[in-house]
């Protein structure tokens, strides 16, 4: 999804799931891709994201390292590919699923439900998300997923707090659930329950303004 410009957005802009189906690929390329992703998922789970190299993934997958680099670019590209399926599940739930995450609930409730859903996503994939968001300066803001989350929150914030700057507040809400911040909080001893409570409190206070 393209980054929105300065023009005033539509009142109820349509949301799109992901970036469409992946392009068709040769059977051997598809097999290699699956082998690489399976190997990466296994190695990341066993040894941690930081210690696994692209060379190790290639060796475990039984392919040349050039194949891995050409297909995924770097380790953050591998992380993005592994996260894609889970991202699409969350996107579908918030766009077409049952309320309160999906349509049919008040905007404020949907915002809190999205934050809960995203917290579940973070909890299951924190290291991969941190890698994808911090691989390079500003990496988080160059992903289509970030701008879909932002657009969703901006739409709901315009409904819940019509007098506020919804575009800015959507960024503020996403800032408190960044993988790098949550990783730092976890490293400092904060439990997942405490992080969730803090995020809920922040959102509730923001929505009361």
CATH number at residue 138: 1.10.357
Q: What share of the chain is helix, strand, coil (3-state, %, to 5)?
A: 70, 0, 30
32 and 131 together in one domain? no
Of the two residues 175 and 41, the one the predictor is more confident about is 175
Same domain assignment for residues 39 and 125: no
| Digit-coded pLDDT (tens) for 62-78 | 999 999 999 988 888 88
**Distance between terminal CA atoms of the chain?**
30
Are 129 and 144 found together in one domain?
Answer: yes
Mean pLDDT score, 148-161: 97
**What's the confidence (pLDDT) of residue 15?**
57
Q: What is the DSSP letter of 13?
A: P
Query: Which pLDDT score is estimated for 129?
Result: 93
Q: Are residues 80 and 45 in the same domain?
A: no
Which residue, of 73, 102, 134, is where some domain finishes?
A: 73
Q: Is there a single domain that holds both residue 45 and residue 143? A: no
* CATH at 49: 1.10.10.60
Final residue in a domain of this structure, among 9, 44, 73 = 73
In contact, 137 and 145? CB cutoff 8 Å: no
Tens digits of residue pLDDT in 9-66:
444 444 554 545 555 567 788 888 889 999 988 998 899 888 999 999 999 999 999 9
Into how many domains does the chain fold? 2
- Residue 12 forms part of a structural domain: no
Measured between alpha carbons, how far is 103 from 99 in angstroms, rounded to an integer?
5
The answer on 168 and 78 residing in a single domain is: yes
CA atoms within 13 A on the CB side of 32: 18
pTM: 0.78
Cβ within 8 Å of residue 104, ≥6 positions away? 98
- pLDDT tens track for 94-153: 999 999 999 999 999 999 999 999 999 999 999 999 998 998 899 999 888 999 999 999
Residue 37 to residue 10: CA distance in whole angstroms: 38
Q: How far apart are CA 85 and CA 128, in angstroms?
A: 13
pLDDT of the residue at 6: 35
Task: From 73, 92, 115, give the residue that closes a domain.
Answer: 73
Domain that residue 59 falls in: 20-73
Asked, for residue 58, whether it belongs to a domain, the answer is yes
Q: Which of 130, 134, 135, 143 is nearest to 3 (CA)?
A: 143
Distances 24 to 30, 32, 193 between C-alpha atoms, Å: 9, 14, 42
**In sequence order, what are the beta bridge partners of 20?**
18
């Amino acid at each position: 999804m393209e980054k929105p410009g300065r023009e005033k957005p539509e009142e109820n802009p349509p949301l799109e799931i992901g970036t469409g189906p992946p392009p068709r690929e040769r059977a051997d390329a598809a097999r290699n891709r699956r082998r690489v992703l399976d190997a990466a998922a296994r190695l990341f789970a066993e040894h941690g994201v930081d210690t696994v190299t692209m060379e190790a993934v290639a060796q475990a997958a039984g392919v040349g390292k050039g194949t891995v680099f050409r297909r995924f670019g770097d380790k953050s590209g591998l992380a993005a590919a592994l996260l894609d399926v889970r991202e699409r599940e969350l996107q579908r739930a918030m766009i077409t699923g049952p309320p309160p995450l999906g349509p049919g609930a008040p905007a404020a409730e949907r915002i809190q439900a999205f934050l809960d859903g995203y917290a579940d996503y973070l909890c299951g994939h924190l290291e991969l998300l941190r890698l994808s968001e911090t691989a390079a300066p500003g990496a988080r803001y160059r992903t289509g997923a970030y701008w879909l989350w932002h657009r969703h929150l901006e739409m709901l914030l315009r409904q819940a707090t019509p007098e506020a700057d919804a575009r800015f507040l959507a960024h503020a809400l996403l800032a408190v659930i960044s993988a790098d911040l949550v990783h730092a909080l976890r490293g400092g001893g904060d439990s997942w329950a405490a992080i969730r409570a803090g995020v809920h409190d922040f959102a509730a206070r923001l929505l009361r303004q």
